[in-house]
């Protein structure tokens, strides 16, 4: 049987986080695993080059990273205080690429992540981070649709 010592939980820090968290904690407790909590801020430069001067974009990105770090810290304090060995990471870039990078760099054994259930045109425009990770991940990926949980 495969050992699950490191679980990666990529999250967007929305209310979906709270719906998926019990599953992550349950798996972690069962296998005595360390949870790696990852929040990725999409690279703002790719969206803002046409609209903002470079200096302004750097400031916006700095503020976004600070705000995300504060939110990540708050979530950890409020909902993950008793979680032994919790590792938190904040990254900037393409979410799927950053998740895949962390799987390799940290030797992750399992990824547990939410899906948004986008369909049709919305899915074609925005794609699915979970879908990209599932297709390219070298480790198992458990996807949970938080909108269908009871």
HEC string for the chain: CCCCCEEEEECCCCHHHHHHHHHHHHHHHHHCCEEEEEEEECCCHHHHCCCCCHHHHHHHHHHHHHHHHHHHHHHHHHHCCCCCCCEEEEEECCHHHHHHHHHHHHCCCEEEEECCCCCHHHHHHHCCHHHHHHHHCCCCEEEECHHHCC
- The reported pTM is 0.84
Exposure string for 75-98, b = 16+ CB within 10 A, e = fewer: beeeebeebeeeebbbbbebbbbb
Residues in the chain: 150
CA–centroid distance for 60 within its chain: 21
CATH number of this structure's domain 6-148: 3.40.50.620
Q: Which of 69, 64, 72 is nearest to 35 (CA)?
A: 72
Residue by residue, pLDDT tens for the chain (150 residues) are 689 999 999 988 877 888 899 999 999 999 999 999 999 988 765 555 555 555 566 777 788 888 888 888 888 888 888 788 899 999 989 999 999 999 999 999 999 998 876 666 555 555 588 899 999 999 999 999 887 876
């Amino acid at each position: 049987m495969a050992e699950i010592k490191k679980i990666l939980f990529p999250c967007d820090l929305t209310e979906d986080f709270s719906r998926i968290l019990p599953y992550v904690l349950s798996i972690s407790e069962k296998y005595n695993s360390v949870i790696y909590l990852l929040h990725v801020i999409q690279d703002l430069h790719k969206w803002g080059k046409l609209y903002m001067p470079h200096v302004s974009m750097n400031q916006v990105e700095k503020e976004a990273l600070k705000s995300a770090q504060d939110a990540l810290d708050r979530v950890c304090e409020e909902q993950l205080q008793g979680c032994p060995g919790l590792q938190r990471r904040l990254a900037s870039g393409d979410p799927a690429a950053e998740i895949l990078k962390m799987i390799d760099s940290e030797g992750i054994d399992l990824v547990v992540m939410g899906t948004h259930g986008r369909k049709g045109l919305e899915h074609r425009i925005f794609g699915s981070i979970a879908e990209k990770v599932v297709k390219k991940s070298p480790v198992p990926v458990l996807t949970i649709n938080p909108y269908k949980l009871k």
